[in-house]
Amino acid sequence: MHFLDQAKIYVRAGSGGPGAVSFRREKYVEYGGPDGGNGGKGGDIVFEAVAGLNTLIDFRYTQHFKAPRGGHGMGKNRNGAGGNDLVVKVPVGTQIISDEDRETVLADLTEAGQRVVFLEGGLGGRGNASYKTSTNRAPRQHQPGITGEEMWVWLRLKLLADAGLVGLPNAGKSTFINKITNTKAKVGDYAFTTLRPQLGVVSHKGREFVLADIPGLIEGAADGAGVGDRFLGHIERCRVLIHLIDVHGTDPVEAMDIVEAELEAYGGGLDEKPRLVALNKIDLVDAELVEAFSRELKEAGADEVFPISGASGAGIQALLDAVISYLPAATVTERPDGEREEQDDTPWSPI
């Protein structure tokens, strides 16, 4: 399945049905009169977030969504049928953005099953029976029904993940996420192996959380260099970021500064999120060099450095312990014997 995180669509609610102009003409009925019914209400445009979707690719091929209009009013005081609502199903984490400035968020669907009535259908028109008065016994006026709302909007998907991976290209992010999840991310010995965000579920010490991997950042990404910063939106909702640094590549301090600068330039609160710095590929260098680089990174501003190897798995357990400390703890867990115990909410702290 192709990944698409932005799409422009046209939505139009149904118009109200027109009211009817009708008069009773039954045989043996002494007094006739107007009996035109009202028109039905047009259908609404409803957006619904559904689980199991993680791309907007369907909206590349279907871009126009029009709800049905209301039915016509009829004689014998019969009102027209209301138009059915049109439900547009989108992935969880989808934002509906105004087409005018492409910045104003009109709706944000962050939970599975969440529904938003985005455009309301037009009201049906009045039939001539509703105009009857003591002085106007045979009215012929009626209303045509109100036109339904319509507009162009942008859909923007921001994947929902608990933790996000950032780093320069070839920092080992794909190898790392493949090691701790069932994701089969592409791994290659060249820059920008990852071209689209990847999601994986991590199971650690009876807990599960979602980890997001985005394409690597390079200097100038905020200005469009490399794949730019368009995928940074997918980690805006993360509670904690894991910054992977290649100990066998560029100077680690320089690599950290480049990524931090791009996160700050992007904004969106990314520079304020908790950061766990992981010195990756320690299996390729000696312990002294790892210790020296760890010390330099702490002096450059890193709170704590986790030496790890995405290939061998060394040090990963300690890193995952730190990630879990930033996630909301479940209130209880189920023991094998069926008893229930309270979770330990004591926050993790580095030694």
pLDDT at 184 over 80: no
Q: What is the DSSP letter of 131?
A: G
Q: Is 220 annotated as a binding residue?
A: no
Per DSSP, the three-state class of 337 is coil
- Least confident range from 54-58, 125-129, 153-157, 231-235: namely 231-235
Residue with tokens 């005081």: 77
pLDDT reported for residue 185: 54
Q: Is 216 annotated as a binding residue?
A: yes
Alpha carbons 289 and 201: distance in angstroms, whole number: 32
Residues of the chain with pLDDT > 90, as a percent, come to 44
The reply to whether 296 falls in a domain is yes
pLDDT reported for residue 201: 85
Taking the alpha carbons at both ends of the chain, their separation in whole angstroms is: 44
Alpha carbons 304 and 292: distance in angstroms, whole number: 14
Q: Which of 50, 48, 56 is closest to 5 using CA atoms?
A: 56
pLDDT reported for residue 224: 59
pLDDT reported for residue 221: 61
Q: Is 99 annotated as a binding residue?
A: no
pLDDT reported for residue 349: 37
pLDDT reported for residue 234: 80
Q: Is 169 annotated as a binding residue?
A: yes
My answer on whether 306 and 171 are in the same domain is yes
My answer on whether 330 and 233 are in the same domain is yes
Render pLDDT for 235-248 as a digit per residue (tens, 0 to 9). Answer: 888 899 999 998 88
Q: Mean pLDDT, the chain, as a whole number?
A: 84
> Of 141, 157, 173, which one is at a domain's C-terminal end?
157
Q: Is 309 annotated as a binding residue?
A: yes
Q: Is 195 annotated as a binding residue?
A: yes
Residue with tokens 């909410």: 345
Q: Where are the alpha helices (DSSP H) in 217-339?
A: 252-266, 287-299, 316-325
My answer on whether 174 and 312 are in the same domain is yes
341 confidence band (pLDDT: 50, 70, 90): very low
pLDDT at 176 over 60: yes
**Domain range enclosing 95:** 6-157
CB 40 within 8 A of CB 16: yes
Alpha carbons 94 and 158: distance in angstroms, whole number: 6
Q: Is 38 annotated as a binding residue?
A: no
Q: Is 172 annotated as a binding residue?
A: yes
248 to 233, 287, 291: CA distances (angstroms): 29, 12, 13
Q: Is 167 annotated as a binding residue?
A: yes
Alpha carbons 45 and 17: distance in angstroms, whole number: 17
pLDDT reported for residue 222: 60
Measured in residues, the chain has a length of 351
Render pLDDT for 123-147 as a digit per residue (tens, 0 to 9). Answer: 999 999 999 998 998 899 999 999 9
Per DSSP, the three-state class of 208 is strand
> Of 157, 177, 196, which one is at a domain's C-terminal end?
157
268 confidence band (pLDDT: 50, 70, 90): confident
Neighbour-count burial of 23, counting CB atoms closer than 10 A to its CB (0-12 exposed, 13-18 middle, 19+ buried): middle
Question: Which CATH number is 288's domain given?
Answer: 3.40.50.300
322 confidence band (pLDDT: 50, 70, 90): very high
214 confidence band (pLDDT: 50, 70, 90): confident
Q: Is 193 annotated as a binding residue?
A: yes
Q: Which residue has the higher pLDDT, 351 or 122?
A: 122
Pairing state between β 33-34 and 23-24 = antiparallel
Q: Is 194 annotated as a binding residue?
A: yes
Q: Is 173 annotated as a binding residue?
A: yes
pLDDT at 350 over 50: no
The reply to whether 119 falls in a domain is yes
165 to 240, 256, 277: CA distances (angstroms): 9, 13, 10
Q: Which residue has the higher pLDDT, 213 or 21?
A: 21
The reply to whether 90 falls in a domain is yes
AA letter at 112: A
The reply to whether 347 falls in a domain is no
- Least confident range from 4-8, 101-105, 108-112, 188-192: namely 188-192
Question: Which CATH number is 43's domain given?
Answer: 2.70.210.12
Structural domain count of the chain:
2
pTM: 0.74
The reply to whether 351 falls in a domain is no
Residue with tokens 């690599």: 255
CB 259 within 8 A of CB 217: yes
> Of 91, 126, 157, which one is at a domain's C-terminal end?
157
Q: What is the mean pLDDT of residues 96-102?
A: 92
HSE-CB at 165 with a 13 A cutoff on CA atoms is 34
